[in-house]
Chains A and B, each alone.
Chain A
Amino acid sequence: MLSYLLFIATIGGIYGLLALSLNLIWGGAGMVNLGLAGFFAVGAYASALLTTAGQAPIAAGWLVAFVAAGIAGLTVTLSTTRLREDYLAIVTLGFAEVVRLVAANEIWLTRGTDGISGIPGPWKRALGPDFNGVYFLIVLGVLLVVFFVVRRIDRAPYGRALRAIREDAQVAEVAGKNVLRFKTEAFALSAAIAGLAGALYGHFTSYIAPDLFLPLITVYIFLAVASGGTGRPAGALVGAYLVMALLESSRFFVEGIPGVTAVQRAALKELLIAVALIVVLRLKPSGVLPERIPPAPRSS
């Protein structure tokens, strides 16, 4: 049981990183990034390839994953500078699908739909059954660092500028903010965090394949951020664990129901998750931890 809880807490932490990444860009700058799964995949593949085919140490893999996804994010924003809202959402969704299709078809590099198996985990052999626990601590550490960084950004003048862009980019521009620079930087950082999450996922489960990076995962993270509280890092984090808790606890919940077949149980599980999320958003329309906008500092 403990090792299962640690496993779920670790995956929850990885979802948490993705939620922080999405919150930075969606909650912060108001850019809808439906391509989260794509950046997640870029990071996962970069690190997996570097550490399996390239024999590099795992830490180097993580660093490269962070940088590679950041560069991917930079490319996506710079090629879509004139797109906003729905149009940006469509392009980013397209980007994620392109990544998935490249991963499925460029067999020489990615081993196609077979996926990459045998991705090393840090000290996995030496740790044996303690691996889940140690890895959880690693993910927790990364999660906390990222959390404090994005919270710092959120509360800093930089975050205020992002929010101004979210509310009205034109006004921000008039106020002398370099909107394009803010957007690209935030998007690249957000993508880099998603990439890091991907690398952490790959080294944890030791296997990645294109099928892992379906848009479903993006949907989960949007649910997490929406139910946790858009625009507040703590909210995104709570939302990620809330979604993970729902996904997993519903499994046990339906097990206790007598007289239903396995299929009905699977359907009930999905239903339960949906209902729970609807209830949360009905009672807390702006999420469990809604955004708090600090008052502007007084000019002396």
Chain B
Amino acid sequence: MNKIRITRRTTMAGSVALLANPAIVRAQADPIKLATLTPLTGAGGPYGPVMAKAAASVVEEVNKAGGVLGRRIVLVSEDDQTNPEAAVRAARKLIDVDKVTAIMGTWASSVTTAVAPLCWESKTFLCTVSGADSITLLPHQGYLIRTQPNSRLQVTRVGEFILSLGAKKAFTMIPQTPFTQSTFDVLNQVLPKGGATHQSLIYDDKKTTYRTEVDQALRTSPDVILANGYTPDTVVLLKDLYRAGFKGKILGFAYSINQKLVDQIGQNEVVEGVYTFAPSSAEGGSAYEKVKVAVGSANPDPYTCQVYDHVNMVLMAIAVGKAASGEAIKDNIRKVTQGSGKSVDNAVDGLKAIAAGEKVDYSGASGPCDFDEKGDILDCKFRYEQIKGGKFTLVKIA
């Protein structure tokens, strides 16, 4: 065993060799480089892989149709591990080594906030699906847009839905997240207006049981509970609510109450009648149909639709700006997403129109994709579902 010796020198040489190796692979004729930075592992793991796939499908289509500005598109997919420390390292690699012009699909709010400064400092464009209000308030100088409605808008709609369920006493159970405070603020405003009272508690999302929290909530005898966590903690919470014999209505966000949660709970009666809520994709729209085919799923989630839109918008902005740079994207992204141009639903058609000197207005899979000057979307529809017999059934899209 002693024959192989790992010395400082061999270790160093090995690491350097590892670092140097792909330089040979990477040497190619000047393609346009874009990146996805989605959570392939960690809490966002259920979403990131499909998002990366959707982005890759757009790039493939555009490359088949001849690329942008006569150049091929190369998409680099990195894993943000749903962890800001790992995400910063990955983003640094994308910016400095791959020299990408845009990073798309950051999911967790903490990841987006950590990565955003690197992007605006290096003039790299960032498209995100994170919902925290604080993100578009960062001094991003225009280098950031998001396709997810901010939490204030979302929670207002949730509040209105709770009222429409006939609630008199609503209770919110939520872990500490970047949108916790704004959730309370908005609900405390919306619910009393509709004649309902609102109480809430913050729980720790890493706990393995929520019996005390459930007891605390049920003491106020609520008729609607908003379970506003992520999937792993909501699994435990819903089980504990069922055990405690809660008979009222339960409502949660579709990013946590999803098929995965139903499968993990494994007993349909626990989740029977639970309502879910999500920003709606532009279902029935032609872009949405394309996403369905691209990812091979009958109902792609909103994040997948959003990242699909990111790539389309970025590519068209590059074409209009006639330059593959973050600056060109920043200056031109609103020229392809809003205004009075020809309505297009994918970059291939859009690029043709742009080449023909036409103006375009992109309407994507996630919605109309129009942005205000801060980078927030202007308009969005929401989708309400209810679980019946372990299946999600549509209540309404409004």
The answer to whether A262 touches B176 (Cβ under 8 A) is no
Report A-chain residues with C-beta under 8 Å of the C-beta of B56: 262
The answer to whether B84 touches A253 (Cβ under 8 A) is no
Say whether, besides A242-B11, A252-B19, A255-B25, A280 and B6 are in contact (CB < 8 Å): yes
The answer to whether A238 touches B83 (Cβ under 8 A) is no
Choice from B19, B81, B117 contacting A206 with Cβ under 8 Å: B117
Say whether, besides A8-B92, A262-B77, A113 and B177 are in contact (CB < 8 Å): yes
Q: How far is the CA of A249 from the CA of B97 in the complex (A)?
A: 12
Choice from A4, A206, A247, A261 contacting B53 with Cβ under 8 Å: A261
The answer to whether A8 touches B8 (Cβ under 8 A) is no
The closest CB in chain B to the CB of A128 belongs to: B121
The answer to whether A255 touches B176 (Cβ under 8 A) is no
The answer to whether A251 touches B4 (Cβ under 8 A) is no
The answer to whether B18 touches A249 (Cβ under 8 A) is yes
Number of interface residues of A (CB under 8 A): 53
> Does any Cβ of A come within 8 Å of B15's Cβ?
yes
Choice from A113, A209, A248, A270 contacting B93 with Cβ under 8 Å: A248
Q: How far is the CA of A216 from the CA of B41 in the complex (A)?
A: 14
> Does any Cβ of A come within 8 Å of B113's Cβ?
yes
> Does any Cβ of B come within 8 Å of A269's Cβ?
yes
The closest CB in chain A to the CB of B80 belongs to: A266
Q: How far is the CA of A237 from the CA of B269 in the complex (A)?
A: 55
Report A-chain residues with C-beta under 8 Å of the C-beta of B134: 114
The answer to whether A209 touches B92 (Cβ under 8 A) is no
The closest CB in chain B to the CB of A104 belongs to: B176
The closest CB in chain B to the CB of A3 belongs to: B96
The answer to whether B6 touches A283 (Cβ under 8 A) is yes
The closest CB in chain A to the CB of B7 belongs to: A288
The answer to whether B113 touches A262 (Cβ under 8 A) is no
The answer to whether A209 touches B1 (Cβ under 8 A) is no
Choice from B19, B22, B88, B97 contacting A205 with Cβ under 8 Å: B88
Number of interface residues of B (CB under 8 A): 56
Report A-chain residues with C-beta under 8 Å of the C-beta of B52: 261-263
Report B-chain residues with C-beta under 8 Å of the C-beta of A245: 11, 15, 18-19
Say whether, besides A8-B89, A256-B21, A270-B41, A112 and B181 are in contact (CB < 8 Å): yes
> Does any Cβ of B come within 8 Å of A179's Cβ?
no
The answer to whether A4 touches B8 (Cβ under 8 A) is no
Q: How far is the CA of A209 from the CA of B112 in the complex (A)?
A: 11
> Does any Cβ of B come within 8 Å of A267's Cβ?
yes
Distance of A226 from chain B, by nearest CB (Å) = 14
> Does any Cβ of B come within 8 Å of A130's Cβ?
no
Choice from B1, B40, B96 contacting A263 with Cβ under 8 Å: B40
Choice from B19, B77, B180 contacting A113 with Cβ under 8 Å: B180
Per-residue 0/1 for A78-119: is the Cβ within 8 Å of any B Cβ (1 yes, 0 no)?
A: 000000000000000000000001001101000011110110
Which residues between 244 and 300 of chain A lie within 8 Å of chain B, taking CB atoms?
245-253, 255-256, 261-263, 265-267, 269-270, 280, 283-284, 288-289
> Does any Cβ of B come within 8 Å of A169's Cβ?
no
> Does any Cβ of B come within 8 Å of A224's Cβ?
no
The answer to whether A209 touches B84 (Cβ under 8 A) is yes
> Does any Cβ of A come within 8 Å of B204's Cβ?
yes
The answer to whether A251 touches B93 (Cβ under 8 A) is yes
Q: How far is the CA of A111 from the CA of B116 in the complex (A)?
A: 18
The answer to whether B176 touches A113 (Cβ under 8 A) is yes
Q: How far is the CA of A11 from the CA of B15 in the complex (A)?
A: 16
The closest CB in chain B to the CB of A253 belongs to: B18
> Does any Cβ of A come within 8 Å of B226's Cβ?
no
The answer to whether A256 touches B25 (Cβ under 8 A) is yes
Report A-chain residues with C-beta under 8 Å of the C-beta of B25: 255-256
Choice from A115, A214, A283 contacting B83 with Cβ under 8 Å: A214
Name A residues whose Cβ lies closer than 8 Å to a Cβ of B: 1-5, 7-8, 11, 101, 104-105, 107, 112-115, 117-118, 205-207, 209, 211-212, 214, 216-217, 238, 242, 245-253, 255-256, 261-263, 265-267, 269-270, 280, 283-284, 288-289
Q: Pick 11 A–B contacts, CB within 8 A, sort by A.
A: A113-B109, A114-B109, A205-B88, A205-B117, A207-B84, A245-B19, A253-B18, A263-B52, A265-B40, A288-B7, A288-B8
Nearest 4 interchain pairs by C-beta: A4-B96, A249-B18, A266-B40, A245-B15
